[in-house]
Chains A and B, each alone.
Chain A
Amino acid sequence: GENVEQHPSTLSVQEGDSAVIKCTYSDSASNYFPWYKQELGKGPQLIIDIRSNVGEKKDQRIAVTLNKTAKHFSLHITETQPEDSAVYFCAASMSAGNKLTFGGGTRVLVKP
């Protein structure tokens, strides 16, 4: 089955700096790669996703890149703010709406 590795497990950045989280996946059949933000005691919230026919996608301060050949994808958060502090998960799936395999998560702390 699919296996998703995520790094780093913790990330501390100064407010205003950028944060980058990287994930690799094992199953070349995966075509959908979402990123979730999870705050304490809450369900995951989709922040951005990318499909295999696209190499990059951006939404305001958040961007995701995908390299299908190398089987890795990354989340970039620019101009970080304290409210960006949370746990972020990458995931992979055959298609949107299908079951997800999650990475191990990255705890991001943005210091004011």
Chain B
Amino acid sequence: GAVVSQHPSWVICKSGTSVKIECRSLDFQATTMFWYRQFPKQSLMLMATSNEGSKATYEQGVEKDKFLINHASLTLSTLTVTSAHPEDSSFYICSARDRIRNTEAFFGQGTRLTVV
């Protein structure tokens, strides 16, 4: 149990376009999901906390108008990178917290975004 799936696993897009990344909790409900970004050979940095039915909370320095987060259901959060630029190329990873069990948040497998 406790599977978190991200889609797509990798995506290549042109500069100026938008790309959407999905994060799904497959066998549990998640009121809270977290979005992290990881540049090559660096650590994971929290971008935002996504709460079902309410606005996301963004970390300092993360542009909320560029990284749109929607958490419309208890099993799905989406991250849309708008007007992508090459510097947005990164590994985006989500994690989801089980609504009922007091356990760690479970990570997805990540999405590799390359902007050309």
Interface residues of chain A, those whose CB is within 8 Å of chain B, are 32, 34, 36, 41-46, 49, 89, 96-105
Contact = CB atoms under 8 A, between A and B. Distances in A.
B81 to A, nearest CB: 18
Interface residues of B, number: 22
B77 interface: no
A46 B2 CA distance: 12
A42 B6 CA distance: 11
Given A43-B110, A97-B32, 14 more contacts: A42-B109, A42-B110, A43-B6, A43-B93, A43-B108, A89-B43, A96-B103, A96-B105, A97-B102, A97-B104, A98-B97, A100-B34, A100-B95, A102-B43
Contacts of A34: 104
Contacts of A101: 46
A100 B103 contact: no
B116 interface: no
B74 to A, nearest CB: 15
10 contacts: A34-B104, A43-B93, A43-B108, A43-B109, A89-B44, A97-B98, A100-B46, A100-B95, A102-B43, A102-B44
Q: Tell me the interface secondary structure of chain B in the complex.
A: strand
Given A97-B32, A97-B97, A43 B107 contact: yes
What is the interface of chain A mostly: helix, strand, loop, or mixed?
A: loop
B7 interface: no
Nearest to A44: B107
Contacts of A103: 43
Contacts of B105: 96-98, 100
